[in-house]
Structure 1
Amino acid sequence: MSRVELDAAGVRDPGLRAAYRRCRDLNACHGRTYFLATRLLTPAQRPAVHALYGFARWADDVVDTPRPGEDDLARERRLDALARELFAGLDRGGSDDPVLAAVVDTAVRHGIDRRLFEDFLHSMRMDLTVTDYPDRAALDTYVRGSAEAIGLQLLPVLGTASPPGVAAPHAAALGKAFQLTNFLRDVAEDLDRGRVYLPADELAAFGVDRSLLRWCRLRERTDPRVRAALAAQHATTREIYRFAARGIAMLHPVSRPCVRTALVLYSEILDRIEDADFAVFARRARVGNLRRLQVAGMAVLRVAWARSGHRPGPVACARAGGL
């Protein structure tokens, strides 16, 4: 992380600066679309976003990337240890952990509700034992912590031009839309981990169950029934993006280009899935680098305009229990 960003964010302590740099490295390595979008934020905002992403990435890796010989119980203990250290840090307003120090500092600086971290970690624990979701309500419980909570954590960092409580549902919806996009794109990969993040009853309406999904995975083909079921999930996700997009105007002007860029690029993954006729078992849908640069280039112009006459003020930085 550049010295300019840390200076702009008011991070002076050398150990804390190192923690923020580690979070930035996690973001740059694992979250290409998110990292590109963060470059459109002001330097002062970027460290906090990197810290929140770094924590989410760390917890996700505990669940999905076990150490050699590590079983589910060992991963659960490691996740519990991470949670204890995080909440202890939040209680005392600081942490000695080389990553959590940045997360705790971000939460304290921006007044992020600790319940959002509790919700997130609850969903991470679900991944250790839950492999199927019988209906939309069950899946929404998982997504509330795994995605909506992250959108809500970001709201105080991004700032709002309207009351935070009005913007919050749209921010939560954007996190949800991103997550549901991942579920569609990564059906095959999730099956390899033994999980299905699609409502079983909605799949059953098209004659689809786990065994048919496995058949598609093994043959790298999309059965017509599965294609119809995925198209229905695709349409649901599109509706959530439309609702989320209405919240961009509620953000502080300096944050809008970043969020709009992330929304456009991530929603275009849905375009790629549709263009490939839902061949998600044969290839992973991606937005190409050229398109990413085109969208980012247009956003740079909007950033220049926003920064020319807009700076975060008391309303923009109002604290919320979310976004």
Structure 2
Amino acid sequence: MELKQAYARCEAVAAHHSKTFYRAFSLLPLHDRRAIWAIYAFCRRVDDIVDEGAHPKEQLQQFEAEWKSFLAGDEHDDFMWVALRDVFSRYEMDVEPFWHMIEGQTMDLTVHRYETFSQLLRYCYCVASTVGLMLLPILAPNHRNELKESAIALGEAMQLTNILRDVGEDMERGRIYLPREWMKLYGVSEQQLAYGEVTNAFIHLWEQIAEEAEKRYALAGQTFSLYPLSARLAVKGAATMYRSILQVVREQRYDVFTKRAFVSAERKQVLLQQIGGESVEVG
């Protein structure tokens, strides 16, 4: 497959599955944004195997085998591997977060409850912070070490936001990411979650986790200035738009069972203007 076509396929995956992510990084220079789409395609592929695969365990094992083959230098015609090969030739990529991403997705096959918040954070690191670490060689190659901690914090914040937004959807998949120790502390039962009850206890629990997410958004924001300008706007834009999901949930009276919180196009436009982004149409 031609490299240009491979990148186009990766871009289509990003544009289809995450408009927020796609828009946030669309203003990067050509080679950089292409690299972003390739990495997104990798993460999307492994995530879809777990969430939608007919035989996820076997498919994940096959994916891991392909990844090992890729690292060994073997050529693959699949568009994702073709694009990723070019990324690895252009940038000083670290393979560790890719491995941890696979680890996190494997956890979703076997772990459906988390006893403690620290255990939940490990999961957040594997499935989300790893993305930020994958992107650092592209977005800020000269400040990778200084930005590592904040990239991890931002990933944790964004995944906690996902968890707080998707409580109902996760329940339908048989998964509860809200830590049991905090559910017990606030008096929230699994039965209440199954019934979709938005009680005061649930709101307090939700806000406790939201506070942890907010702390991490704030920590990540302290180092945004280390990113080159184009990358800075992209990262800050993604963080700002994701963080605003928390406020949307509040405006929807914490109904994360029958409603899906999303940031409207108009709101995205305002947020982009506030952070100094270009006035572009967003969807």
TM range (shorter): over 0.9
How much identity, in percent, do the aligned residues show? Answer: 30
CA RMSD of aligned residues (A): 1.8
Equivalent of 1:34, from 21, 24, 40?
21
Equivalent of 2:256, from 269, 280, 297?
280
| Structure-1 separation of matches of 2:116 and 2:146 | 28
Answering whether residue 41 of structure 2 is matched by residue 57 of structure 1, we say no
| Structure-1 separation of matches of 2:93 and 2:49 | 23
| Structure-2 separation of matches of 1:292 and 1:251 | 22
- Contact 1:133 / 1:200 at 8 angstroms: preserved in 2? yes
How far is the alpha carbon of 1:301 from its aligned partner? 4.1
TM-score by length of 1: 0.82
Structure 2 counterpart of 1:4: none
Structure 2 counterpart of 1:257: 233
Structure 2 counterpart of 1:149: 130
Structure 2 counterpart of 1:183: 163
Answering whether residue 265 of structure 2 is matched by residue 289 of structure 1, we say yes
How far is the alpha carbon of 1:276 from its aligned partner? 2.3
- Contact 1:90 / 1:108 at 8 angstroms: preserved in 2? no
Equivalent of 2:69, from 71, 81, 88?
88
SS at match of 2:30: coil
| Structure-2 separation of matches of 1:124 and 1:81 | 14
- Structure having greater relative contact order (Cα 8 Å, sep ≥ 6): 1
How far is the alpha carbon of 1:280 from its aligned partner? 1.3
- Contact 2:120 / 2:177 at 8 angstroms: preserved in 1? yes
| Count, aligned residues | 279
Which piece of structure 1 moves more, 180-189 or 268-277? 268-277
- Contact 1:52 / 1:103 at 8 angstroms: preserved in 2? yes
Which protein is richer in helix relative to its size? Answer: 2
Equivalent of 1:77, from 58, 61, 83?
58
Structure 2 counterpart of 1:319: none
How far is the alpha carbon of 1:235 from its aligned partner? 1.1
| 1:55-204 → structure 2 map (5 Å cutoff) | 55-66=42-53, 70=54, 74-92=55-73, 94-159=75-140, 163-204=143-184
How far is the alpha carbon of 1:93 from its aligned partner? 6.5
| Structure-1 separation of matches of 2:124 and 2:210 | 16
Q: 1:262 to 1:242 in 2, by over 3 A?
A: same
How far is the alpha carbon of 1:138 from its aligned partner? 1.3
How far is the alpha carbon of 1:160 from its aligned partner? 5.1
- Contact 1:27 / 1:50 at 8 angstroms: preserved in 2? yes
How far is the alpha carbon of 1:273 from its aligned partner? 1.3
| Structure-1 separation of matches of 2:94 and 2:73 | 15
Letter aligned with residue 185 of structure 1: R
How far is the alpha carbon of 1:152 from its aligned partner? 0.4
Letter aligned with residue 30 of structure 1: H
SS at match of 1:92: coil
Runs of 4+ in 1 over 4 A off after TM superposition: none
| Structure-1 separation of matches of 2:167 and 2:73 | 41
- Contact 1:93 / 1:104 at 8 angstroms: preserved in 2? no
Which piece of structure 1 moves more, 181-190 or 197-206? 197-206
Which piece of structure 1 moves more, 202-211 or 148-157? 202-211
